[in-house]
Amino acid sequence: MTAGPLTALPRREQLPAGRAARRAPRRRVNLMPLVYLAPSLALFAAFIVFPFLRAIWFSFNETSFLGGIIGFTGIENYQAILSDPHFVNALRNSAAWTFGAVGLQLVLGTAGAFLLNQRFALRGLARGLAMVPWATPSVLVALIWLWMLDPNRGIVNGVLVGLGILDKPVAFLSTSETAMPTLIAIDAWQGIPFFAVMILAALQSVPQELKDSARTDGCGPMGVFRNVVVPHILPTVLITLVLRLIWTANYIDLAYVLTGGGPARATTTLPLLSYLTAYKGGDFGQGAAYAMVQAAILSVLVVMYIRLTRDRSA
Amino acid sequence: MSAVLDRPLAPAASPAPAPVPIPRRPRVRLGSSLVHGAVALWLAATLGPYLVMLLTSLTSERELLTPGVNPIPETFTLDAYVELFRTTQFLSYLGNSVFTAFGTVAFSLLVAMASAICLSRFRFRGRTSMLTALLIAQLFPAVLLVIPLQAELRTVGLLDSRWGLILVYSTFATPFATFLLKNFLDGLPLELDEAASIDGCSPWQMVRHVLLPLMRPGLTAAGTYIFIFAWNELLYALTFTSTPAAQTIPVGLQLFIGEYQIRWDLLTAGGVLAAIPVLAGFMVVQRQLISGLTAGAVKG
């Protein structure tokens, strides 16, 4: 999904002492929270927790083409991964995809944030328009760029050849060397605005008094930036970064639609390998095992993310 | 009202009326024309591809088959749109997307509102765990859950069904919608609740007559977020639906890309129609939505 990046964080604020004291008699509210939370909890139990446990179970079984379980095979699916050359390839692609796309977004998104923080006409509108790719369906992003990059009639090749930068049109998405960089560029195009807007919000929350007092204390513009602005926006940048890493690592829509993992597996990332193994190869047990490895690797980032958000609100 | 989502992103004008003209905030400023140029360049790179798509959808099939690159059509035509509705299943996809997206908005908003009220207004054991659980729920890899979810939906007969999609989408849209609404509610003073309760409101009346009307902006932002999520989702829709009875627009576009590879007029026409509802909705509430998105990461 495009609208993936989620950043509203829970606050762990302390209640003012008086507030709790003024509450209605305690026994009356005791069951209420459960009533209010019941719908959420039911949804999570049915569509997250149960499937998660089942995915673990799947990964230890051999499955039929239709997804039925044939028999328990223990760690066979995991052993198969260790001796699978495609797995190492997928890991490498995953690393290139995730760090490439997020790195690009971080650098250009930060630049974009500073740009949007300047004064100019219609700034509010510009910020909204810049965020449009964030709200665009992933398939549509794929479709637009498939057309723009079309070797015969696409505008990108047309311009590059017209300017003499290329001798002849390049099939960017079906050439092994260019396929992954092209996917990364497309993802960056879609993801930069999100970074920019998050960092912009952090920039705008730097208290003016802090900057003023730093200036009074003799800081030049660079000094203010280094000693006041950077420390202030750093937590937001880190949280956004970790969130985007997790999200991008799991994001397979673009590669699925644009390259199908090809050419010659050049764009098959680990989650895409899992999906293709299950739905093109019909091996759900093996697919689940790949997905479990993906989840295990990402759990490091998830723990980091939770720590970061907790530090913020502590 | 100090509602979180209402907080404008732009540095707000100081609330106190200034008796003397306040000197402009000194800040590092690039040259004004340089800034405008850079912003224009950025917006051109962002919006240009959409313009190319729109223009292509208005080009005739014949003109597109002639070699060479010419993004601006010689004659504008709506043929592609007519053909899209006459000869493809696009209308079914559109109907399914509308049904699924609005269904998800209604269902998820209800669920998220209940959770948000609870997390904002009650203090109970397990509250922090619930907040952490919400955080983790939105970080699960979709590929990990897609396989068992398909099996589960088949068991309960909700495969290739719009209702099945609504349930799954609601599950994954609810955590963030809950955070949005909770942050919003945290900005509404508790004194309101107390006044209502002193006036003899039952808890339900308090929600209905006090909180709900005040939550309108928050509900709009959360509802739009849910709509965008449901409208755009590809992976689950692709896996859980198999006929035009339930396939949504993203699935349809994905099928078109395989089927009409050389009919760029048709493909882009479908793209334009897929983009209009989300982008229009986004632009209308972008202010609230963006401040909702950023609120969590910025304040601690």
The reported pLDDT for the residue numbered A13 is 45
The reported pLDDT for the residue numbered A122 is 83
Are the Cβ atoms of A136 and B231 closer than 8 angstroms? Answer: no
Are the Cβ atoms of A154 and B232 closer than 8 angstroms? Answer: no
Q: Is residue A121 part of a domain?
A: yes
pLDDT in tens, A168-189: 888 899 998 999 999 999 999 9
pLDDT at position A84 over 80: yes
- pLDDT band at A167; cut points 50, 70, 90: confident
pLDDT in tens, B238-254: 999 999 999 999 999 99
Residue B274 has which token pair?
């897929």
Query: Which residue in the block uniquely carries the two structure tokens 């390259």?
Result: A259
B141 touching chain A per CB within 8 A: yes
Give me the percent of chain A exceeding a pLDDT of 70.
Answer: 88
Are the Cβ atoms of B174 and A253 closer than 8 angstroms? Answer: no
The reported pLDDT for the residue numbered A220 is 84
Please indicate whether residue B12 or residue A308 has the higher confidence score (pLDDT).
A308
Q: Is residue A100 part of a domain?
A: yes
Are the Cβ atoms of A67 and B47 closer than 8 angstroms? Answer: no
The reported pLDDT for the residue numbered A297 is 93
* Range of the structural domain that residue A147 is part of: 86-313
The reported pLDDT for the residue numbered B24 is 53
pLDDT at position B8 over 70: no
A27 touching chain B per CB within 8 A: no
Which chain B residues are closer than 8 Å to A118 by Cβ? 29-30, 35
Q: Which of B70, B234, B236, B273 to mutate to test the interface with A (most CBs of A within 10 A)?
A: B234
The reported pLDDT for the residue numbered A90 is 94
Which chain A residues are closer than 8 Å to B283 by Cβ? 128-129, 132
Pair B194, B176: CB distance under 8 Å? no
The reported pLDDT for the residue numbered B208 is 84
The reported pLDDT for the residue numbered A65 is 66
The reported pLDDT for the residue numbered A270 is 93
Are the Cβ atoms of A3 and B228 closer than 8 angstroms? Answer: yes
For residue A15, give the chain B residue with the closest CA: B123
- pLDDT band at A10; cut points 50, 70, 90: very low
Mean pLDDT of A230-251: 89
Which chain B residues are closer than 8 Å to A45 by Cβ? none
Pair B285, B224: CB distance under 8 Å? yes
- pLDDT band at A106; cut points 50, 70, 90: very high
Q: Which of A32, A34, A40, A53 to mutate to test the interface with B (most CBs of B within 10 A)?
A: A40
Are the Cβ atoms of B297 and A158 closer than 8 angstroms? Answer: no
Q: Which B-chain residues 55-84 have CB contacts (< 8 A) with chain A?
A: 56, 64, 67-69, 71
Bridge-based pairing state of the strands A69-72 and A61-63: antiparallel
- pLDDT band at B97; cut points 50, 70, 90: very high
From the number of C-beta atoms within 10 Å of its C-beta (0-12, 13-18, 19+), residue A224 rates as buried
Mean pLDDT of B50-66: 87
Are the Cβ atoms of A43 and B134 closer than 8 angstroms? Answer: no
- pLDDT band at A215; cut points 50, 70, 90: confident
- pLDDT band at A201; cut points 50, 70, 90: confident
Q: Chain B closest CA to A100's CA: distance in Å?
A: 19
Question: Quick count: other Cβ atoms within 10 Å of Cβ B8?
Answer: 13
Q: What is the DSSP letter of B21?
A: P
Nearest CA to A298 among B297, B135, B176, B140? B140
Which chain B residues are closer than 8 Å to A252 by Cβ? 143, 235
Mean pLDDT of A20-25: 49
Q: Which of A11-20, B205-214, B239-248 has the lowest mean pLDDT?
A: A11-20
Give me the percent of chain A exceeding a pLDDT of 90.
Answer: 38
pLDDT in tens, A286-297: 888 999 999 999
Q: Which of A120-124, B3-7, B87-91 has the lowest mean pLDDT?
A: B3-7
Query: ipTM, 2 decimals?
Result: 0.84
Are the Cβ atoms of B257 and A142 closer than 8 angstroms? Answer: yes
Average pLDDT, rounded, for chain B: 83
Are the Cβ atoms of A11 and B56 closer than 8 angstroms? Answer: no
- The separation between CA B50 and the C-alpha centre of its own chain, rounded to angstroms, equals 18
pLDDT at position A4 over 90: no
For residue B40, give the chain A residue with the closest CA: A126
Please indicate whether residue A291 or residue B23 has the higher confidence score (pLDDT).
A291
Q: Position B92: which residue type?
A: S
Number of H helices, E strands in chain A: 16, 2
Residue B283 has which token pair?
């632009």
The reported pLDDT for the residue numbered A262 is 80
B106 touching chain A per CB within 8 A: no
Mean pLDDT of B81-108: 93
Which chain A residues are closer than 8 Å to B178 by Cβ? 40
Could you confirm whether domain B78-298 is CATH 3.40.50.300?
no
- pLDDT band at A312; cut points 50, 70, 90: low
Q: Which residues share a beta bridge with A71? A: A62
Looking at the 3D structure of chain A, how many domains does it have? Answer: 1
The reported pLDDT for the residue numbered A20 is 47
Mean pLDDT of B137-147: 88
CATH of the domain at A233: 1.10.3720.10
Burial string for B204-230 (b: 16+ CB within 10 Å, else e) reads: eebbeebbeebbebbbbbbbbbbbbbb
The reported pLDDT for the residue numbered A186 is 96
pLDDT in tens, A33-71: 888 999 999 999 999 999 999 889 888 988 876 667 777
Q: Is residue A42 part of a domain?
A: no
Q: Is residue A210 part of a domain?
A: yes
Mean pLDDT of B47-59: 92
Are the Cβ atoms of B294 and A198 closer than 8 angstroms? Answer: yes
Give the global pTM: 0.85
Q: Chain A closest CA to B188's CA: distance in Å?
A: 14
